[in-house]
Amino acid sequence: MTEVLKDRVFYENSGGGLTLSGGEPMLQFEFAYELLKQAKQNGIHTCIETCGFASAENILRIATVTDIFLYDWKLTNEKMHQEYTGVENTLILKNLQQLDAVGSNIVLRCPIIPSVNDTEEHFRGIANIANSLRNPLAIEIEPYHSLGENKYIKLGKLKGIQKFEQPTEKQIETWMNQIQNNTKVTVKKA
Amino acid sequence: MGNLSELKKLVFESDNNACFIERERILNRLEKEMADYNEPDKYAIILSKLLSEASTPIFDCDYFAGRVVEALPEENMAAPSELLCSVGHMSFDYEKLLKVGLKGILTEIKANAKEKGDFDSVSFAKNAEIVIMAIKNYVQRYANEARNRGLLEMAKALDHVPYEPAYDFFSALQSIWLIHMIASCYVGARDYAFGRFDEYMLPFYEKALKNGKTESELTEILAGFFMKTNEICGRGTHNYKCKPILSQASKQYINIGGENPNVFSSVVLEAAKLNHMAQPQITVLLKPDADEEFTANVFTALSVLTDKMHIYHYSQIVEALINQGIEKEIAKEFTYSACCTFDLNYHSFRLEYFTPVPQIFLSVFHHNEYSSLRELLADFKAALTEEIQNYVNRTQDGFCEEEARKQFVLDSLLLSDSTVECRYACDGKAKYNVLNIFCPGVATIGDSLMVLDKLVFKEMRYSYSEFAEIVKNNYQNHEELLEEIKGYTMFGNDTEIDRYTVLAGNAFLDAVDAVEHRENHYLAAGFYSLERENVWAAEIGATPNGRRKGEPFSENQSPTYGADKNSITALLKSLSKLPFERTVTGGLNLTFSQRISPEILQALVISYFQMGGFHIGISVIDRKTLEDAMVNPNKYKSLTVRLYGFSEYFISLPKWQQIAILNRTEYCV
């Protein structure tokens, strides 16, 4: 916490705060919870980026010390979700609904990868989920980029990693419009 | 009305090998013709002949009259001719020019000379009259040309200024431009600054609005004025082959903000966005608690202009000046001109000195076997004081011997002391003589102290002499140790290690404080290297921080290349520990790999200033683009980066400077 507080002046001038990001902070739940709790006690705004794949109990506990959830929604199609992420999306959806029920502020974070989830079905799914929430802050889409490739090269893991085409700005705009056409929730680029 | 995009195109199409051909032809001829003429009015006569023969072209795209015609120099031509050249690097009193015109300045000089009555003063006034009348006649020819072309507003302005006071927004800018151009291109010198531009232009702006001009019309006219400053040096920056003009690489600073930013301060920012060229440099003097709207405008402009503007912590600098004995009214009017250097506006004559700090540190380090950092620092301070004292002694009777011999130069018409005293104020007798005393390599010294303290005094892994020998031998056969040192946490990561660089900084400032100087000399100290971190590198032996001979040392206020491994906030916190409250000069450049929102920029800079930060300049550029620009320069003609205290066209830089920019840490917010 001492480290976090060193940046207080920046939080105050930016209206920002502490964001726990990935990996997946919920995998280190106890530490994440304690850090966010202490941040709240010190008057610092808190935020967590999560894929939502965690126990309902932990999700609800973390909600008590979190101001904003940046909540991943990767794939609406259950089978594809299982195929690409290795887990089902049922629990993720349930946790999202629970967070919404207790009044958490939620930004839906949607990574869009050409040829994987840039489908009409998924875009409609994103809009439907956002529409089902009571008070979603926004839908943020995260277009695929290849910045991680260097990291994979450094880790010696590029082999076997599937490469995708980087979308153009025009393509991204089309995606955003496809989602926006079905929802009143603001769609923006993350 | 002019045309901005046409003017911009002309700058980009200009030939970097071309010179102001008329000037060179006329001066080369006059040099021969007047070789035996040695009367005190020689300078004035030559300048007046030059102005009487020069052509007065106006292009269709020009907003303002006043341009020089360039062509490739003839074979064996002495270009640029130094017959008239000045030292430049100063801020002119344009406020006075606009208020009383050259006519008023001449009246003042004549009255002062009459009162003084001595030969030199009378001679100064006579020279002033020759030059002022030559400018009047030269501008009259421009007025005729404008009238012939049907440019009636321009012709009317040229009938009046710069001889008479300016009467409206356009004539004010026209007046400034003509003097600025004559000083830069005809006399020939780099880096004339415009001083506190938003203060003295405000009344003209307000009057123009009252008279029915719109904000957007006035912004465009101002952008046209800004565009002219790029004609001074074209794209010729600091490149391999200098443009054959004396004003090559001229950095021209517009200072805005300060105590009370006004409505025109924000118009300057808008016009700068329209101009969007490397010149002029927009220098914002910002209080962390300045007017909210102005502050927001500053950061919106910074997010667009990036390397073309920079920001100083105004209130902290004023406080430092007052603490060092400068009267409040003068302190509040300080400016920056030329390469991030400090100036007391047009009140002073100023020089700069890059103290060979790394060299002095190494000579002290190798001179004795010290048993503590305290002892070493005491000797280091004493050696620095001696070095700076020698410099001050050398310059106090005349900043530049050649300059001091000149009784009159054009520049003296626009410096307050010169018109009062009737002499060119470069003889060390001006009311304020500002000596910028720079400390290059502060982080390299700080990190060196840390390594020495750790390996020798604390862990005692080496005796002092053993370690000094390893460093002296360039870490030869001690590659393992070198790698180990390189792995240490250094300055720039917001750790307790930063205290060593603070020690180094304070040692330098204490040394400056100990220098004896005359009352009218002001030593403006700060952490700044310009390009010395690379230019000196080859001569400087290995340093205890794991730097081998020939490698660059730390740039400006920054950590050594690659040492800042945490985040941007950690870096700014480290930097804010430096004793900036004792400095008034210097600079910091940050490189970001992608565009940053105005809000984030504002949060970063205001937070940094609240913690005691001094200055920020930024580049937004990614490594891939820079690498591509090195291979395909023609694709990147307009690509600019922040270099030291200004903006430069990347492709005009020599390779070693391009590599230095590539070496900077890229931050992503």
**DSSP per residue, A15-39:** T-EEEE-SS-GGGGHHHHHHHHHHH
How many CB pairs below 8 Å do chains A and B form together?
Answer: 26
Of B494, B599, B611, nearest to A14 by CB-CB distance is B599
Q: Which residues of A touch B611 (CB under 8 A)?
A: 9
ipTM (interface pTM): 0.77
pLDDT exceeds 70 at position B399: no
Q: Does domain A2-189 have CATH number 3.20.20.70?
A: yes
State the first-to-last Cα distance of chain A, in angstroms, to the nearest integer: 27
Q: Judge whether B34 and B91 are in contact, CB under 8 Å.
A: no
Q: Which residues of A touch B494 (CB under 8 A)?
A: 6
Distance CA(B543)–CA(B531), nearest Å, equals: 18
CB contact under 8 A, A10 and B494: no
Distance CA(A159)–CA(B35), nearest Å, equals: 77
* Each residue's pLDDT tens digit, A49-70: 999 999 999 999 999 999 999 9
Distance CA(B34)–CA(B343), nearest Å, equals: 36
pLDDT exceeds 60 at position B12: yes
Section B301-321 average pLDDT: 96
Distance CA(B510)–CA(B381), nearest Å, equals: 7
Residue B87's pLDDT band (cuts 50, 70, 90): confident
Distance CA(B242)–CA(B281), nearest Å, equals: 20
Residue B2's pLDDT band (cuts 50, 70, 90): confident
- Burial letters B75-110, b for 16+ CB under 10 A, else e: eeeebbbebbbbbbbbbbbbbbbbebbbebbbebbb
Q: Which residues of A touch B602 (CB under 8 A)?
A: 13-14
pLDDT at A166: 83
Of B494, B573, B607, nearest to A13 by CB-CB distance is B607
pLDDT at B238: 59
pLDDT exceeds 80 at position B398: no
pLDDT at A157: 62
Distance CA(B582)–CA(A104), nearest Å, equals: 49
Residue B405's pLDDT band (cuts 50, 70, 90): low
CB contact under 8 A, A13 and B610: yes
Phi first, then psi: give them for residue B238, nearest 5 degrees: -105, 60
pLDDT at B664: 81
Cα distances (Å, whole numbers) of residue B356 to B411, B472, B531, B540 = 30, 18, 13, 10
Residue with the bigger pLDDT between B394 and B96: it is B96
Q: Which residues of B touch A15 (CB under 8 A)?
A: 603
Counting residues of chain A whose pLDDT is more than 70, the rounded percentage is 91
pLDDT exceeds 60 at position B239: no
* Each residue's pLDDT tens digit, B164-184: 999 999 999 999 999 999 999
Q: Are strands B253-257 and B90-91 parallel, antiparallel or unpaired?
A: unpaired
Please state which of the ranges B94-98, B477-481, B513-517, B531-535 shows the lowest mean pLDDT.
Answer: B531-535
Beta bridge partners of A19: A47
Helix (H) or strand (E) holding B349: strand B348-354
Of B494, B573, B603, nearest to A13 by CB-CB distance is B603
pLDDT at B196: 96
pLDDT at A113: 92
| Domain parsing of chain A, residue ranges | 2-189
Helix (H) or strand (E) holding B386: helix B373-395
> Does residue B305 come out as left (phi exceeding 0), alpha (psi in the -120 to 50 range) or beta?
alpha
pLDDT at A156: 67
Q: Judge whether B53 and B141 are in contact, CB under 8 Å.
A: no
**Residue among B115, B122, B44 at smallest CA distance from B84:** B44
**Residue among B597, B617, B603, B615 at smallest CA distance from B664:** B617
Residue B622's pLDDT band (cuts 50, 70, 90): confident
Q: Which residues of A touch B610 (CB under 8 A)?
A: 9, 13
Residue B1's pLDDT band (cuts 50, 70, 90): confident
pLDDT at B353: 95
Residue with the bigger pLDDT between B5 and A22: it is B5
Strand extents, DSSP E, B258-345: 281-286, 309-313, 335-337, 341-343
pLDDT at B645: 79
Of B494, B600, B610, nearest to A9 by CB-CB distance is B610
Q: Are strands B253-257 and B192-193 parallel, antiparallel or unpaired?
A: unpaired
Q: Judge whether B396 and B517 are in contact, CB under 8 Å.
A: yes
Helix (H) or strand (E) holding A46: strand A45-50
Distance CA(B435)–CA(B426), nearest Å, equals: 12
**Residue among B629, B636, B638 at smallest CA distance from B658:** B629
**Residue among A48, A35, A44 at smallest CA distance from A9:** A44
CB contact under 8 A, B603 and A14: yes
Please state which of the ranges B127-136, B156-165, B380-389, B531-540 shows the lowest mean pLDDT.
Answer: B531-540
Distance CA(B145)–CA(B122), nearest Å, equals: 35
What distance in Å separates residue A126's CA from the closest CA in chain B? 27
Query: For chain B, what is the mean pLDDT?
Result: 93
Q: Which residues of A touch B606 (CB under 8 A)?
A: 13
Section B561-578 average pLDDT: 93
pLDDT exceeds 80 at position B647: yes
* Each residue's pLDDT tens digit, B108-163: 999 999 999 999 999 999 999 999 999 999 999 999 999 999 999 999 999 999 99
Residue with the bigger pLDDT between B396 and B439: it is B439
Section B74-101 average pLDDT: 92
Distance CA(B185)–CA(B183), nearest Å, equals: 6
Please state which of the ranges A46-55, B27-36, B81-90, B258-267 shows the lowest mean pLDDT.
Answer: B81-90
Helix (H) or strand (E) holding B314: helix B314-323
Best probe of the A interface among B286, B292, B495, B569, by most A CBs < 10 A, is: B569
Q: Which residues of B touch A7 (CB under 8 A)?
A: 569, 573
* Each residue's pLDDT tens digit, B247-287: 988 999 999 999 999 999 999 999 999 999 999 999 999 99
User: At a CB cut-off of 8 Å and minimum separation 6, what does B138 contact?
Assistant: B51, B52, B54, B56
pLDDT exceeds 80 at position B3: yes
pLDDT exceeds 80 at position B397: no
pLDDT at B338: 79
pLDDT tens for the 190 residues of chain A, in order: 888 998 999 999 988 899 999 789 999 999 999 999 999 999 999 999 999 999 999 999 999 999 999 999 999 999 999 988 899 999 999 999 999 999 999 999 999 998 889 999 999 999 999 999 998 999 999 998 776 666 666 666 656 666 778 888 899 999 999 999 999 999 999 8
Distance CA(B350)–CA(B2), nearest Å, equals: 36
Distance CA(B23)–CA(B26), nearest Å, equals: 5
Q: Which residue of A has its CA nearest to B612?
A: A9
pLDDT at A154: 65
pLDDT at A93: 95
What distance in Å separates residue B296's CA from the closest CA in chain A? 12
User: Amino acid identity of B506?
Assistant: N
Beta bridge partners of B310: B283, B617
* Each residue's pLDDT tens digit, B410-464: 999 999 888 999 988 887 778 888 999 999 999 999 999 999 999 999 999 999 9
Distance CA(B139)–CA(B56), nearest Å, equals: 8
